[in-house]
């Protein structure tokens, strides 16, 4: 699996809207009372200190709609064909802009409702400011999806047990932490994960500035239309 968030950002700025197939109305019940919703490819808005982004970036994508009741309560309806390759990463983003060595704490709480079919992962995607390093924390995954790189270790960090993979997508280093059992809710001590990467393994400098902490759904297929609901998601640090 090869991907590049830098490519996604470039496409979001430069690419014209592409045909995404039939786009239907928002299907999930919470969306009916949403304060914001859109089915546009690059739809985005800011609510309560979070930036929400529909982010349909992969080739062969179908329809996808995003909705939000607040910055911490939002969801996605997606109908992507049963083909390989990531189609989208709908997400909410909290900007941190502090180096690992000056962060006293960085934590997140999540609570999601996700389908039992399709192919996707529910994940944090954490970036440094220069986009040289990408840290993915998969809290659950379903179907034919997998991380970049090779297996490195099994560790218990930040309140969870993970299988750790390390690799590159051609643009940046990627460190993927896959929770060994799927979870729909919990708390992650992200600072502890960053400390392990920087100080225990030496894979990135301790003075690297953490830019964005994203959380969302990296969807490969969701044929027929599936709902991904973020019941609550908070990210805080200092």
pLDDT digits (tens, 9 = 90+) for 1-33: 434 443 343 333 333 333 343 334 444 445 556
Cβ atoms of residues 192 and 108 within 8 Å: no
User: What per-residue confidence (pLDDT) applies to 67?
Assistant: 98
Reported as a single tens digit per residue, the pLDDT across 130-158 is 999 999 999 999 999 999 999 999 999 99
User: What per-residue confidence (pLDDT) applies to 2?
Assistant: 39
Residue 218: which domain range? 5-237
> How far apart are alpha carbons 6 and 9 in whole angstroms?
5
Secondary-structure breakdown of the chain: helix, strand, coil percentages, each rounded to the nearest 5: 10, 50, 35
Reported as a single tens digit per residue, the pLDDT across 203-222 is 999 999 999 999 999 999 99
Average of per-residue pLDDT across 108-116: 98
Reported as a single tens digit per residue, the pLDDT across 32-53 is 568 999 999 999 999 999 999 9
Number of domains in the chain: 1
E strands in 72-132: 73-79, 88-99, 106-113, 119-128
Q: What is the pTM of this model?
A: 0.88
At 36, which CATH number? 2.60.120.180
The percent of residues above 90 in pLDDT, for the chain, comes to 86
Summary mean pLDDT of the chain: 89
User: What per-residue confidence (pLDDT) applies to 100?
Assistant: 98
**Backbone torsions φ then ψ of 191, nearest 5 degrees:** -55, -40
> Is residue 235 over pLDDT 70?
yes
CB atoms within 10 A of CB 153: 13
Residues 6+ apart with CB under 8 A from 133: 127, 172, 173, 175, 203, 204, 208
User: What per-residue confidence (pLDDT) applies to 82?
Assistant: 97
CA proximity to 180, closest of 200, 154, 159:
154
CA proximity to 127, closest of 5, 233, 216:
5
CA proximity to 215, closest of 132, 119, 127, 100:
127
């Amino acid at each position: 699996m090869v991907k590049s968030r830098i490519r996604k950002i470039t496409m979001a700025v430069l690419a014209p809207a592409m045909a995404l197939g039939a786009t239907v109305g928002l299907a999930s019940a919470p969306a009916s009372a949403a304060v914001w919703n859109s089915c546009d490819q690059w739809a985005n808005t800011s609510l309560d200190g979070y930036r929400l982004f529909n982010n349909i970036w992969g080739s062969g994508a179908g329809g996808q709609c995003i909705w939000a009741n607040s910055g911490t309560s939002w969801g996605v309806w997606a109908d992507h064909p049963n083909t390989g390759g990531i189609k989208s990463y709908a997400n909410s983003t909290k900007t941190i802009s502090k180096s690992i060595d000056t962060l006293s704490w960085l934590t997140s709480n999540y609570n999601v409702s996700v389908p039992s079919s399709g192919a996707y992962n529910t994940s944090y995607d954490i970036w440094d400011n220069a986009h040289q390093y990408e840290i993915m924390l998969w809290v659950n995954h379903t179907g034919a999806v997998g991380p970049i790189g090779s297996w490195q270790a099994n560790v218990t960090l930040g309140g969870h047990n993970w299988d750790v993979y390390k690799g590159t997508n051609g643009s940046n280093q990627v460190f993927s932490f896959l929770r060994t059992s799927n979870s729909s809710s919990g708390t992650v001590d992200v600072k502890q994960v960053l400390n392990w990467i920087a100080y225990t393994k030496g894979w990135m400098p301790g003075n690297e500035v953490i830019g964005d902490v994203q959380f969302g759904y990296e969807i490969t297929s969701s044929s027929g239309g599936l709902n991904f609901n973020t019941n609550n998601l908070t990210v805080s640090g200092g």
